[in-house]
Structure 1
């Protein structure tokens, strides 16, 4: 396990329903700020914004966005993760892709679909919790609304970094920061949440309140808002020391999750 994992959160004003423009925008932000990163996180549905128009904007999984992610990961020699709209077998998914620099990708499909926006009527929910590896660090991916369901995010002592990619509206920004903090404390893990900012095509505003928290729930980055790439270095020593001196996860409840 690498002692320090350098991660970056790409906070962007996504262009509504414009995949090519968003890939160009995010590519420019990575070119400006990705040097030295091990892991870069993009927002939820980063090619379109949070739209339910899957019939118009979902793409075959092995399409232009997957190719773009592979190119960016190889170019910057980092792992890149973010979600976009995918059509597969006649169904639609809000799918996160975990793309290492060697192109050996993995995926996570959003488990909790936001019914208040009709997401559940368009997309198929995922049913597998995943843990990926970056430089020896175990990383658990989640997407936006998953944040409100702590059982799904609960550590089985099987991850070091829990992260959420999101389009989380400004109206609920206080809940966003508090829930991220809670997930860090209760799971004794680093937690990152990357969000977009600006106003989407349906009039919803986003605060750009991306943040990285240490295992005690303390923020690690100075987010001044706007278009930016937040950076932090996660310490394996800090994590191991906390878990050794205060091993609360040893007393955690054992449970089986029924899907």
Structure 2
């Protein structure tokens, strides 16, 4: 398992403007070289409940991500509004450089904003394998539900993509750290910044935590960067074997 270099782009998503958002991303990532490019929740449009207006109907975002992954020789992941099989979903794509991909449909829909009225919840917990790393995919509100992200020694890292506003930002930071500690895993939480179409503000608040709860990420020019170190993770888990004492849960 090689070390994994990740760059998350926490930008001010233009409301419901796919074309300009994708152009902006292409320009920003032009000169970076990493193993994984991470984009926020609903990065093409912002966290918008007008699914009939904004949702992909012909896998437009997926095709764009495949092109970016191929040109950058890097995996690309982030979520988008998608119409699939008769319903709308908040779909988190993980696209590899060779064009293969997996996706996770957001399980916990944010009822406070009416997401449950616009989108259908996912039915599967998804772990992807990339360069020897097992990565659990999660989206925003999933962060509040620890049983769903419980590490059954089946993953090494968790990625959360989000549109988590300033009014509840302490919960975001605290829970990211908690998930890293309780699951003895890397946790990368990528939030957007700026102001959305609902006039909600999003401060700089993206981080990567190591398994002991320490912050290992650095932020510069919109990018939050971190490196997953396999030797350090194995050493930490070997020294503190807390997962052996975990409870078991039935998720579905």
Segments of 4+ moved more than 4 angstroms: none
2:212 to 213, 216, 224: 216
SS in 2 for 1:74: helix
2:78 alignment partner in structure 1: 82
2:228 to 216, 226, 234: 234
Aligned-pair Cα RMSD in Å: 1.0
1:121 to 108, 112, 117: 117
CA contact (8 A) 2:218 2:226 kept: no
CA contact (8 A) 2:73 2:97 kept: yes
Structure 2 distance, partners of 1:161, 1:20, is 31
1:148 to 133, 139, 144: 144
CA contact (8 A) 1:14 1:47 kept: yes
**Unaligned runs of at least 5 residues, structure 1:** none
Structure 2 distance, partners of 1:130, 1:250, is 22
1:182 to 174, 178, 181: 178
What is the aligned residue count? 252
Structure 2 distance, partners of 1:196, 1:55, is 23
Structure 2 distance, partners of 1:101, 1:41, is 14
Structure 1 distance, partners of 2:232, 2:74, is 23
1:247 alignment partner in structure 2: 241
2:250 alignment partner in structure 1: 256
Aligned-residue offset at 1:90: 1.9
CA contact (8 A) 2:91 2:105 kept: yes
Aligned-residue offset at 1:222: 2.9
SS in 2 for 1:47: coil
Structure 2 distance, partners of 1:90, 1:101, is 29
SS in 2 for 1:125: coil
Residues 106-157 of structure 1: CA distance to partner in whole angstroms, max 9, x if unpaired?
1100000000100001100001001001110000000000000000011010
Structure 1 distance, partners of 2:70, 2:219, is 27
Q: Where do 1:157-172 residues align within 5 Å?
A: 157-172=153-168
2:9 alignment partner in structure 1: 10
Aligned-residue offset at 1:255: 2.2
Structure 1 distance, partners of 2:92, 2:200, is 22
CA contact (8 A) 1:38 1:134 kept: no
1:107 aligns with 2:106: no
Structure 2 distance, partners of 1:232, 1:163, is 12
1:43 alignment partner in structure 2: 40
CA contact (8 A) 1:29 1:229 kept: no
CA contact (8 A) 1:209 1:223 kept: no
2:197 alignment partner in structure 1: 201
Aligned-residue offset at 1:18: 0.4
